[in-house]
Amino acid sequence: MASDRRPTFVLPPGTCDTHVHVWGPFDRFPVAKGAPYTPPERNKTDLLALHARLGVQRCVIVQTSVYKSDNRAMLDAVADNPATYRGVALVDDSFGDAEYQALHDGGVRGVRFGFVKHLGGAPDIALVKRTADRIAAMGWHLVLHLDAANIPEFEALLRGFTLPVVIDHMGRVPVADGLDQAPFRILLDLLKRENYWVKVSGSERISAEGPPFRDAIPFARWLIEAAPDRTLWGTDWPHPNVRWEPDEADLVDLLPEFGDAAALQRVLVDNPARLYGFA
């Protein structure tokens, strides 16, 4: 349910929400056939209202599996705000030079692959590797949406990438399994590599306690300390397939617990500006 509460914490100027989605308007951008779920319409106008409430000035719109590789809704939203919006696309084997160039011209700077079981499971690994090689030459990055169990399962694959790789939602490591769980240890080790990034998003996904998700704070702090210049933040609005529907103001109000002002300046402003090419 949408909230009108403004966060207590005031975000620094230039804050970027690096993980949001748009769905619709469905009369223009219908959901793909065979989509793993049917979301409510949440369009670019709703996104603007959210960020006005939170005090967010930049964002990255991440393509979701409900549209598969039809990136039109995302590109349409990015086109309205080309100086402050970027996109992350889904692609398939049909994409050639012209399609990639159109995505780049439209503000896309990364390709996402999902491994999460309830969204269809692991992708074609050969396609992932081919895509990584292709987009590295364009200065793009790979975004990986993994379940915690995927991290040890695909550790060899993860260690083979040389282009920038962004791990979504803290690797979806369950708080209940503790800071010493194997997937989290591997994630921290991957972050020793200069090409690995992580989003301290998804507190509501990894929490065991529920709102306001304070049990996720230690995980975010460890990740930021491990890679202070390669950590990003996002709301994950409109929160597909969550156990608890968060108030985004609560997610913003967790941020002062993630790090001090200097750390948050990097996470919220400087790091995304560098990765996504914001002025």
List the beta strands (DSSP E) in 23-106. 58-62, 85-89
Catalytic-role residue among 46, 147, 168, 236: 236
Task: Report the distance separating Cα 185 and Cα 180, nearest Å.
Answer: 6
Judge whether 2 lies within some domain: no
Judge whether 54 lies within some domain: yes
pLDDT at 136: 98
Q: Which two tokens stand for residue 121?
A: 């499971």
Q: Is residue 207 within 8 Å of residue 213, measured between CB atoms? A: yes
Strand order in the sheet with 196-199: 16-20, 58-62, 85-89, 108-114, 141-145, 165-167, 196-199, 231-232
Judge whether 122 lies within some domain: yes
Per-residue pLDDT of the chain (279 residues; tens, 9 = 90+): 578 999 999 999 999 999 999 999 999 999 999 999 999 999 999 999 999 999 999 999 999 999 999 999 999 999 999 999 999 999 999 999 999 999 999 999 999 999 998 888 899 999 999 999 999 999 999 999 999 999 999 999 999 999 999 999 999 999 999 999 999 999 999 999 999 999 999 999 999 999 999 999 999 999 999 999 999 999 999 999 999 999 999 999 999 999 999 999 999 999 999 999 998
Judge whether 213 lies within some domain: yes
Task: Report the distance separating Cα 163 and Cα 241, nearest Å.
Answer: 30
Judge whether 5 lies within some domain: no
Point out which residues pair with 232 in neighbouring strands. Answer: 199
Judge whether 7 lies within some domain: no
How many structural domains does the chain have? 1
Q: Which residues contact 191 (CB under 8 A, 6 or more apart)?
A: 198, 223, 226, 227, 230
| CATH number, position 143 | 3.20.20.140
Judge whether 24 lies within some domain: yes
Judge whether 83 lies within some domain: yes
pLDDT at 1: 54
Number of H-type helices and E-type strands within the chain: 12, 8
**Does the annotation mark 133 as catalytic?**
no
pLDDT at 3: 87
In terms of residues, how long is the chain? 279
| Domain extent for 161 | 16-276
